[in-house]
Amino acid sequence: MMKTTYKFIFLISSVIVSLSAVAQTNRSDSAMNRQVLLEREYNPTLQGASKVNTTPSIYTPVIKGKEFNFISTTPQVKVDNSQIGSAQSGDIRTNIDYSKKRGYLNFAAGTHGNLDGAAGVRIVNATNDRLDLFGTYGATSGTVDFIDGNKYIYKDAKAKYSALDINLKYQHTFEPSVLTLGGSFYNTSYNYYGNTFLTPEISAFPYDITSKQNVDVFSFNAGLKSSDNNQGELKYNATVNYQNFKSKYGIAPEEKGPKGGQFDLGLEFGAAFDSDKLIGIKASLMNQTYSNKDDFYLGDTAYHSFSNVTATPYFKMEGDSWNIDLGLNASALFDVKNKLHVSPNIKAEARIYDVNVLYGEVTGGVNNNTFLDILQENRYVNYMGRVHYSKTLFDAKVGFKSGVISGFEFDLFAGYKKTDDDHLYIATTSYNALAPTDPSWGNVGTPIYADISTGHIGGALKTTLIPATDLSAKITGFFYDVKNSDFDKAFGRPAFTAQLNADVRPIDKLTLSLNYLYAGGRKALSHSLVVGEQSIVSMKDINELNLRAEYQIMDWISVNVRLNNVFSQKYELQYGYPLQTFNALGGVAFKF
């Protein structure tokens, strides 16, 4: 497999060199003067990947492009405010106008030992060259109370988490092409603090809820694409990325964690003709390998290497009031068993009087569920083996969006998706019967698999009719058909979600923000970590209100205060792992 990887590295290097030579031959004298954000990449010709199962913007007449790797967004709830260790640069306002400023520095601290920061600087800001250094950091070390903790030997636990993400990115424009080079380092550490569900009568098992898991990820990438000013017939985009990952612990504190690498290659070529048509093809390769394997405990297929080679040919047409995008995804999967998966990739929009849009799509593809994918989805996963890939046979959506009233827009949508070998999590122990006296993790998310069909229906609105206020809301209902011989519930996934966002500017330079999130109807499989008993339980509804105030003192400095989970609700995203109740942060943001 590594020989295959080296061949692909050689292939993409050859392609990039060849494209560079063509670009230099056709080089024009025009310069790219448009300012962009520090962390943003945008290609309006080939267009970036669009997320699946999210509400589209109300009026977007341009057809959205496909992804190299299909992402199936399951209706899992994501909480950005009081989740343990959530710190995102986008949440702390890092937008920079580089005609005036070159960098930013934001920092906030609060209760539960919460730290939240971001920093970035454009080292080089020339006409054809950009060099950016930026990163984020988030940490927490606070005690959280278990739900129904009085039933068990542990009533609470200290939840520890930190994440550091540092990026270096270089971009050079030599018309008609743009070359990018970059690298990053990501480190996260956390403890498996989840409830062990042990009663005083069975408290002798040596579970470890204090040791901190540690994961390091080094990434290197390069890309070459046609620039915005490329007037040639052929548009192109080539990317290559390698990520090396290493975890400290495995299925128990005494075991070494998985480590390995992920190689991603993406290619896209497109050509326009007849002024309203575009034909092209996207291709991608993902190869994941592991360099350490514990065949004695886990078996020789637990961390088998996995490759996904996908081709997506497409044909786009655009009329005066309609767009259509025809394509398909064809994936060759190399795993314990090699398979071929083909799915549709069709999207269409029809505009009515330019302010109403009727849209629909039927897509599908393969969800790779790589080590790095799962790290972001559920870091408390059981390392008994790799989470299997899943196949979305189809993901169909239809909707109607309208902006017929100036300052008021709405979107009504519905959809149905079918995914084979989808995964859900149940809370189990990593207790090793072969070494009963060794410490183990008391609560890890063990994946179980099922063929799951998911339907959803909902609506969204956005308005600026209220003076000095931006208001948006979204509600969605979900229903599931789960096919598994042992259970019929979509554990952890909600039956209903609602979200409200509002920004109010009562006076100049002061912004007050409100965010409300509700999610209900979630179920969990309660699995006794010792006696093996199972029962289905209802999880606490998420009912969270968050407030934020930001005051712009001068154009280069602002202060902010955040009050998260104002109702002090106690709930979990992963069963047994309660999140923080009420917490507050205060911070300052600089631009220089």
Task: Give the CA distances from residue 2 to residues 12, 29, 263, 290, in Å, rounded to whole numbers and listed in that order.
Answer: 15, 42, 10, 11
Q: What pLDDT is stored for residue 203 in this prediction?
A: 64
Mean pLDDT within 248-271: 94
Q: Is the pLDDT of residue 580 over 50?
A: yes
Kindly list the structural domains of the chain, giving each domain's residue range(s) and its CATH number in brackets, ordered by start. 2-591 (2.40.170.20)
Q: What is the pLDDT of residue 568?
A: 95
How far is the C-alpha of 265 from the C-alpha of 36, rounded, in Å? 25
Complete DSSP assignment for 236-264: EEEEEEEEEEEESB-SSTTSBPPEEEEEE
Match 């278990």 to its residue by tokens: 146
Mean pLDDT of all residues in 154-172: 96
pLDDT category at 87 given cuts 50, 70, 90 is: very low
| 24 pLDDT above the threshold of 50 | no
What pLDDT does residue 398 have? 98
Residue at token pair 């068990």: 152
pLDDT band at 152 (very low <50, low <70, confident <90, very high): confident
Half-sphere exposure of 37 (CA within 13 A, CB side): 9
Q: Does pLDDT of 251 surpass 60?
A: yes
Does residue 141 carry a pLDDT above 70? yes
* Arithmetic mean of pLDDT, 148-162: 90
The mean predicted confidence, pLDDT, of the chain is 84
Residue 366: pLDDT over 90: yes
Inter-CA distances, 227 with 174, 230, 283, 338, 359, Å: 9, 5, 20, 38, 29
Which position has the higher pLDDT, 97 or 256? 256
Decide if pLDDT at 26 tops 90: no
Q: Is the pLDDT of residue 501 over 60?
A: yes
Counting residues of the chain whose pLDDT is more than 70, the rounded percentage is 79
Distance (Å, rounded) from C-alpha 155 to C-alpha 150? 6
Tokens found for residue 244: 């090396």
- What's at 87, amino acid-wise? A
What's the mean pLDDT in 8-35?
Answer: 36
Q: Which residue has the tokens 């990820």?
A: 217
- pLDDT confidence band for 534 (50 / 70 / 90): confident
**Poorest-pLDDT segment among 23-27, 415-419, 496-500, 517-521:** 23-27
Task: Please say if the pLDDT value at position 30 is more than 60.
Answer: no
Residues 6+ apart with CB under 8 A from 491: 424, 425, 426, 448, 522, 523, 524, 525, 575
Taking only the tens place, the pLDDT of each residue in 434-472 is 666 778 898 999 999 999 999 999 999 999 999 999 999
pLDDT at 528: 59
The single-letter DSSP state of residue 151 is: G
Looking at residue 65, what is its pLDDT?
31
Per-residue pLDDT averaged across 373-391, rounded?
Answer: 95
pLDDT at residue 96 tops 90 = no
d(CA 525, CA 538): 9
Encode pLDDT of 167-203 as tens digits.
Answer: 999 999 998 899 999 999 999 999 999 998 888 777 6
Q: Between residues 166 and 274, which one has the greater pLDDT?
A: 166
- Read off the pLDDT band of 292 (50, 70, 90): confident
Range in 58-72, 140-154, 327-341 the model is least confident about: 58-72
**CA 266/CA 120 separation, integer angstroms:** 27
pLDDT-wise least confident of 362-366, 405-409, 434-438: 434-438
Half-sphere exposure of 301 (CA within 13 A, CB side): 5
Say if residues 164 and 171 touch (Cβ distance below 8 Å): no
Is residue 218 within 8 A of residue 244, CB to CB? The reply is: yes
Give strand pairing partners of 460. Answer: 411, 474
